Amino acid sequence: MNWANVYPSLNLAHGGPVSVGCIKQQLEDFVVEEELAFIPDGAGEHEFLFIEKYGLNTTDVQRLLARLYQLPAQRVSYAGLKDRQGVTRQWFSVHAGLKHAAPRIDELPVTVKVLQRLRNSRKLQRGSHRGNRFTLKVRGCAATTAQLLEQRLGLIRARGVPNYFGYQRFGRDADNLAQVARWFADPLQQPSSRTQRGLLLSSARSLIFNAVLSERVAAGNWNHILPGEVVALSGTASSFASHRAGAEELQQRLQQFDIHPTGPLWGSGEADVTGEVARLESEVAGRYREFALGLQQEGLRQERRALRLAVQNLQAGYEDGVLQLSFSLTRGAYATAVLRELVELESA
């Protein structure tokens, strides 16, 4: 199977792209700022560092901080993983202890800047950020599409976008999917690294989720609550079966982006979905039977993820063929889910 075609073939919710363009031609074209869900308390054994990094991924900085503090990398924590290609600002915590001598921050490379430095009584946990703020530049957009772009932006503000996992989830040329297919076909192909195994399992889950969501986009019900639906509370990992609330209440909360319909993060155990929703998810999982069975055999438990993504504080500017966008997304969401509803991205 040509796994590289899987992501580009996902259905669009608001019609075809209204322009073409390129992103990440320069590092400054893709800026991400993490929004922490709490304020550090100012005291304790954990030093919190708000870091701006250029052309480095999260684990690169984790290793740099570990060397700087002369500590094992396991004592350096972060809330979320960020891409290498771009400028990113995110929080790290170092379990330095109360008596650890503060290192010289100027010993870090010029591609790493410490913007804030605080203490906290607990370490930074994965997923403890509220979301991310993106500032992006799409270059090469045709000037004649400015009006169409504004119309599309209005639809995105009002309706959100499908909450697809981005192409980054699947590796270069979707090689993660090829690797997990070989692994599930032959257990001897299992990666020795626990981290790599986790990445591959996440890719397989994301494939099934995206396929379910794409079917619902095609049917026009990705942003509707169907009979038998499980709905997610916005910005949280909590969900509940829709039959536990009245139809009028559900519709009102749906319009307010307080709740969203959900799709499967595949694994063992029973989901609460029934009827049409359960039939669709079972049918889609059947197309990827080896992946669905492999995820169950690896001990992953069934979870849910919102099908709809609210795009908050969406602002845009357009000049000389450059579209500049800024918006906020909840944690775990991908900026590419927004971009693909606007422009067809070309290689730089």
Q: Read off the pLDDT of residues 269-305 as tens digits, 9 standing for 90 and up.
A: 988 899 999 999 999 999 999 999 999 999 999 999 9
- What are the E-state strand segments in 2-108? 19-21, 30-36, 46-54, 76-78, 87-95
CATH number at residue 230: 3.30.2340.10
194 with 112, same domain?
no
How many folded domains does the chain comprise?
Answer: 2
Q: What is the pLDDT of residue 141?
A: 83
Written as one letter, the residue type at 276 is E
Render pLDDT for 68-111 as a digit per residue (tens, 0 to 9). Answer: 999 999 999 999 989 888 999 999 999 988 776 667 888 889 99
Question: Domain residues for 284?
Answer: 162-309
- Residue found under tokens 């100027």: 106
92 with 169, same domain?
no
298 with 193, same domain?
yes
Q: Which residues are part of the catalytic machinery?
A: 83
287 with 187, same domain?
yes
Q: What is the pLDDT of residue 24?
A: 87
171 with 282, same domain?
yes
Position 249 in a domain: yes
pTM of the model: 0.92
128 versus 217: which is more confidently predicted? 217
Which of 277, 294, 309 finishes a domain? 309
CATH number at residue 83: 3.30.2350.20
Lowest mean pLDDT among 26-30, 245-249, 326-330: 245-249
Position 65 in a domain: yes
Q: What is the pLDDT of residue 347?
A: 62
Collect contacts of 149-155 with beta carbons under 8 A, ≥24 apart.
149/18, 149/19, 149/316, 149/318, 149/323, 149/342, 150/316, 151/18, 152/14, 152/15, 152/18, 152/341, 152/342, 153/314, 153/316, 153/342, 155/14
Position 1 in a domain: no
Q: What is the pLDDT of residue 235?
A: 83
